[in-house]
């Protein structure tokens, strides 16, 4: 793990107020404050790692690539779902301690680690695998226009961090709701011209249910917090419109 060392510029200290809960030790969760020296370019993840290495080895959180790709260090930082690794400390309001909590709407396993199984189940529920309804046009390779590939580019970038689902009120209240990440994943295939019309239709019918497309309240919370700039809401709206156009609309 490379963190800033040689060219550090000291910026004073920063205080992190971190959610703590160890199931076999704590009846209730609590917050613990840590103060550390702040350096230029320091991210929330850098700070947490430094605390764990030098102050409190019992502090537990998930992380791996520290480059906003693995999606494992999503947390609730100062009241918003973010990736700890690409959140610069200096971009936060430092007049009060930086508050770090596990993702809301998910069960806490320990400290900042939440149970992601429900999230993964939702992802799996949309049959997120390529299902072409025809043989490849060239005999071996499916053809895809440059434009079609560009159209799905942003949703393809989803890293399964769970920020969107955690920020989504309907997803928090309804375990059966497919949720924004999985619907964006469905859109990734729905829009891919290689699958063909038949599969496209089947995918739409699959999502056209009370706990599917129509549970979205178009609040745009998911879109606002997505660390990769994806808009699940727009993807959902586009698929909903298509369902209406095809008179598939599910009547609640």
Site for other proteins, rule CB under 8 A: 1-4, 6-7, 22-25, 41, 43, 52-54, 57-58, 60-72, 86, 88, 109-111, 113, 116, 120, 124, 127-130, 132, 136, 138, 140-146, 149-150, 152-153, 156-157, 159-160, 189, 192, 194
By CB atoms closer than 10 A (0-12, 13-18, 19+), residue 187 is: buried
Question: How far is it, in rounded angstroms, from Cα 190 to Cα 160?
Answer: 18
Cβ proximity to other proteins, 153 vs 175, nearer residue: 153
Per DSSP, 112 falls in state T
Nearest distance from residue 247's CB to other proteins, in Å?
29
Nearest distance from residue 93's CB to other proteins, in Å?
19
Ranges of H-type helices in the chain: 44-54, 117-125, 146-151, 153-156, 163-167, 169-173, 180-190, 197-207, 221-225, 232-245
Cβ proximity to other proteins, 41 vs 118, nearer residue: 41
Question: How far is it, in rounded angstroms, from Cα 102 to Cα 168?
Answer: 15
Nearest distance from residue 160's CB to other proteins, in Å?
5
The half-sphere exposure of 219 on its side-chain side, counting CA atoms within 13 A, is: 15
Cβ proximity to other proteins, 70 vs 92, nearer residue: 70
Cβ proximity to other proteins, 170 vs 179, nearer residue: 179
Nearest distance from residue 173's CB to other proteins, in Å?
25
């Amino acid at each position: 793990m490379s963190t800033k060392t040689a060219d550090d510029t000291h910026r004073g200290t920063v205080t992190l107020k971190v959610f703590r809960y160890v199931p076999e030790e704590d009846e209730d969760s609590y917050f613990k404050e840590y103060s550390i020296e702040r350096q230029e370019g320091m991210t929330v993840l850098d700070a947490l790692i430094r605390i764990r290495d030098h102050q409190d080895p019992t502090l537990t959180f998930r992380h791996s690539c520290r480059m906003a790709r693995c999606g494992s260090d999503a947390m609730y930082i100062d009241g918003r779902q973010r990736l700890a690794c690409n959140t610069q400390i200096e971009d936060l309001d430092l007049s009060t301690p930086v508050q770090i909590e596990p993702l809301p709407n998910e069960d806490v396993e320990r400290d900042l680690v939440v149970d992601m199984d429900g999230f993964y189940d939702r992802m799996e529920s949309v049959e997120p695998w390529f299902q072409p309804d025809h043989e490849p046009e060239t005999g071996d390779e499916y053809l895809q226009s440059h434009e079609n590939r560009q159209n799905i580019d942003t949703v393809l970038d989803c890293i399964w961090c769970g920020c969107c689902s955690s920020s989504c009120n309907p997803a928090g209240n309804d375990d059966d709701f497919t949720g924004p990440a999985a619907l964006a994943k469905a859109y990734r295939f729905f829009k891919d011209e290689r699958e063909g019309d038949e599969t496209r239709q089947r995918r739409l019918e699959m999502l056209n249910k009370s706990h599917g497309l129509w549970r979205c309240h178009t609040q745009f919370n998911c879109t606002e917090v997505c660390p990769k700039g994806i808009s699940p809401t727009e993807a959902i709206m586009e698929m909903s419109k298509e369902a209406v156009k095809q008179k598939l609309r599910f009547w609640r």
